[in-house]
Structure 1
Amino acid sequence: MKKSGSGESRRERLRLLREAALHRKVLAKLPTGFEGRWTRRHWLHASLFASLGALVAAIVPGFTDAMQEHRPTSHTSMALALPQLALGRHHISDDNWQTVQLRPGQTLSEVFSELGIPYSQLERVMQHPKIKPALRRMRPGTELAFNLPRDGSVRAMTITIDDQPMELEFTGTALRERMIPQEVTTRTVVLSGNVGKSLFASARKVGLGRKQLAQLTDEMFKYDIDFDSDLDEDDRFSVVVDQTWKNGQLSDTGPVLAAAFTVDSKLKSAFRHVRDGKPGYYTAEGRPLQRAFIRMPIPYARLTSRFGARRHPVLGSMRMHKGVDYGASTGTPIMAAGDARVQFVGRKGGYGNTVILDHGRGYTTLYGHMSSFAKIRRGQRIAQGTVIGRVGSTGLATGPHLHYEFRVNGVHRNPLSMTMPPPQPLSGAALVAFKNETRRALDKIREVEDVIYYPGEDTQVAKTETKKPPRKG
């Protein structure tokens, strides 16, 4: 009994000693001053170990599943009717249009090369009967468009020929053409502005071109307005024209249909009218503005010698000067003084290169010392204002000028003093129709100027006369 008791007591002492030794090792690892309370550092270590444990549990596949019992699951399949997918060309397209503009000096061959289009396709385009002539007229800035799919081929191209867009489609070895429809609209508009410092600049600013301005100055108002001295900056003009628009872009402005100048608060108007198939300009009363003859058949010239006796500048003797001379630079255009038939074209003694025109009723005009002739021939009918040649100094001449003669039944007359009978005015039904058109045109001009200038009753540009009803009683 005694031995067993001593043995148990020995084992108890060894256990106590072992626990004491382990306790000292743990205490050695703990920081000094640890009294059984957790510091902030202890909590930080604990949270770090907890986070690492959670991360390992999430990463290791099947870690949590291994602790759970797997239960069988059931699956059900259902057949659903799906709609048919339309995979046609209109729904899935690989069109890739690229637009280029020709640079100065660039050729169509260079354009095809830069876009990577095979030369064989270029040959097909250049041999197309409608495209081939147009290629010679292409200028820098010409716009071309190409449909280049992602497979590196060319599907189509567009080009504009004579203001008409055309699409060329490459199909196999063929080249199919298709005209692209355009939306074309025509509008009658009134363009109005102040003369300002330059009539030309002001006209361009409101949308008039050189052609319309020439109609104003050379056909409509040249007999009533001296455009060098009569106009002030505050004077105004209004012009009625037809404008053509294609696909929303202004493409053309037609001839002047009507126009009005307000000069020193006085109205001067002119209207276009077609008479016997020939267009002309008339006053509001129906009288033609065009005179039978132009007194000065050359623009930008000065009178250097008058009609009458004088000493010839080349021969030095006193001779009758049977015409008038207009000094101008070589190459200045010379116009027909009136409607005529060409009687003579060629060389004529001291006159040099000469043109003679027969105006009918015994009236003829002669133009001498020309440097060159226009494309006219003997017997040809030409209209007033047609260019018949250009100023020169051929024949007996000391410098470039035009010698102009006017004859009546073969007798020389002074062109500067000749008074010609005016053309016949409109009458009858033609005059009634003309006045109706005139009234509508003036109304359009009045409406626009009322908006722009706010004229008062005494300065209103155009008024249509209305008869007052008679008083009753």
Structure 2
Amino acid sequence: MRRKAQRRHSHFYARCAHWSFSHQQEVEPIRWHRERWILAGTALLVTALAGFILPAWGSAMRPEPVATRHDVLPLTLPKTPALTAQAPLAEDWQAVEVRPGQTLSDIFQDVGLSLADLQRVMDAAGPAAHALHNIRPQQEFDFLLDANGALIGFRFDKDPSSRAVLRFDGGMPKLTIQARALERREHVAHGRIESSLFAAGAKAGMSAAMVGKLADLFKYDIDFVQDLRDGDSFTVIYDDVYRDGSYFGEGDIVAAEFVNQGHRYTAYRFKKADGNYGWFSEDGRPLQKSFLRIPVDFTRISSGFSVARLHPILGRMRAHKGVDYAAPTGTPIHAAGDGVVKYKGWMNGYGNFVVIQHNGAISTAYGHMSRFAAVRLGQHVAQGQVIGYVGMTGLATGPHLHYEFRVNGVQRDPQSVTLPKPEPLPPTQLARFKAEVVRPQLARLKALDDTLKLAHAGSLARNDD
């Protein structure tokens, strides 16, 4: 800036060049590097003055600090217990899941144990060992082995709500029964038959096992092979079982309604006076009828009841006084009702043949068995008990069950004969059944049915638009 001013006002500087504080000697013009030192010094002086003056002024304006009072209170701390022993390490239990076809001895050998170890477990389990006699796939057993592979612990489910724990690491085997928390979670499902019952159940979110339970409830009234029609519907309230917070398996049906060809059938679970549960219709009659309508799981009816039929082997017309249910060889055959085995053996034309006398008037007959079950002549059998297995012994062209329903020795059509109705609950139990079960569950089923009807109507209206 000085040089620029000198250039622009050179005439002024030439006129005033003789100005000086000293006239005795010629003053050398100030050079640029001297000006820089002067400016830097001035800036340093201003900075130093600001550094001393401003803090002093701030300290003078700050109020005197007031001392804060602190009260000291005694605090009693809990005494820390002395560690007398090291915390036990978590035990490494080895879980084994049963595979189809496996036996308990197979499982023990796979783990590296001997049959002597298995016998030791059976002996130590005592009455709880009955749970080990019939194991099933996906069942779980837990083993605890020491460093040498010797058995020191074994766990298994005694029943759904308790677990048996065996320990062999002491002097004597020790058995402990541990309770396990069971929880039931309720579900509601509704389905409409379009192709099959199982397809409708799967669409409604039901497992195949629960659909099977539904069919088992109404099997006395509905033939699920021949009687189902498109448009039939069902509504089910059922529960699933959770153990220790994890899914354990299907529970039971609490209430159900099935509409088949316009006929409505109901089922309600009820705890009877003897403490056992049963399923009853709305009028209090047991769903379990005195007789099974069909005593075998079949694929088709190969021949119906007829007074005149061309015999496939003999080639001549003769009466067929029973119903033939085609099924694979070895399919279990069940007793249609409670009764006594009146005949067991070979019968011409029938092959392996069984007759059960149910009362003074009614008997049932079963033919063409491949083999008999473990039943004896004169033995009392219960409804649903296996009495034999499907085959094609005697005059038969394929494996099937020939089933007869006899009244006073005369064969009647098993598909159309009127079966005797079971007796309803006693009056006191019937009143409790209707008050505690039927009314609340029927209200739930009706509310759900109304909701579904509204939803269906809304869906039809949208489709019309």
Query: Which TM class, normalised by the smaller chain length?
Result: 0.5 to 0.7
Distance in 2 (CA, whole Å) between partners of 1:233 and 1:414 is: 28
Deviations 1:34-84 (A, max 9, x none): xxxxxxxxxxxxxxxxxxxxxxxxxxxxxxxxxxxxxxxxxxxxxxxxx89
Rg: which structure is higher?
Answer: 1
- Number of the residue aligned with 2:342: 343
1:98 pairs with 2:92: yes
Q: Is this contact kept in 1: 2:189–2:205, CA < 8 A?
A: no
- Number of the residue aligned with 1:218: 216
Q: Among residues 120, 123, 138, which one is paired with 1:127 in the alignment?
A: 120
**Other structure's SS at 1:331 match:** coil
Identity value in percent? 32
Distance in 2 (CA, whole Å) between partners of 1:326 and 1:190 is: 35
- 1:99 Cα offset (Å): 4.3
Q: Is this contact kept in 1: 2:220–2:288, CA < 8 A?
A: no
- Number of the residue aligned with 1:331: 330
Count matched residues.
361
- 1:198 Cα offset (Å): 6.1
* Structure 1 unaligned residues grouped into runs of 5+: 1-82, 114-118, 460-473
- Number of the residue aligned with 1:272: 269
Q: Among residues 238, 245, 263, which one is paired with 1:248 in the alignment?
A: 245
Q: Is this contact kept in 2: 1:95–1:147, CA < 8 A?
A: no
Deviations 1:343-382 (A, max 9, x none): 1111122221100011213112211111111222222222
**Other structure's SS at 1:442 match:** helix
- Number of the residue aligned with 2:5: none
Distance in 2 (CA, whole Å) between partners of 1:428 and 1:422 is: 17
- Number of the residue aligned with 1:281: 279
Alignment of 1:147-162 (within 5 A): 157=153, 159-162=155-158
- 1:98 Cα offset (Å): 2.8
* Structure 2 unaligned residues grouped into runs of 5+: 1-78, 458-465
**Other structure's SS at 2:397 match:** coil
- Number of the residue aligned with 1:87: 83
* Cα pair distance change 1:385/1:145, threshold 3 Å: closer
- 1:205 Cα offset (Å): 8.4
* Cα pair distance change 1:281/1:373, threshold 3 Å: same
Letter in 2 for 1:95: L
- The TM-score normalised by the length of structure 2 is 0.61
Q: Is this contact kept in 2: 1:239–1:260, CA < 8 A?
A: no
* Cα pair distance change 1:246/1:349, threshold 3 Å: same
- 1:392 Cα offset (Å): 1.6
Q: Is this contact kept in 2: 1:195–1:231, CA < 8 A?
A: no
- 1:432 Cα offset (Å): 1.3
Give the alignment's Cα RMSD to 1 decimal: 4.6
Distance in 2 (CA, whole Å) between partners of 1:365 and 1:264 is: 29
Q: Is this contact kept in 1: 2:117–2:151, CA < 8 A?
A: no
- 1:263 Cα offset (Å): 7.2
* Cα pair distance change 1:262/1:458, threshold 3 Å: farther
- 1:88 Cα offset (Å): 1.6
Which region of structure 1 is more displaced relative to structure 2, 319-328 or 429-438? Answer: 319-328
- The TM-score normalised by the length of structure 1 is 0.60
Distance in 2 (CA, whole Å) between partners of 1:109 and 1:234 is: 52
- Number of the residue aligned with 1:304: 303
- Number of the residue aligned with 1:387: 386
Distance in 2 (CA, whole Å) between partners of 1:183 and 1:445 is: 32
- Number of the residue aligned with 1:39: none
Letter in 2 for 1:257: V
- Number of the residue aligned with 1:257: 254
**Other structure's SS at 1:281 match:** strand
Alignment of 1:6-25 (within 5 A): none
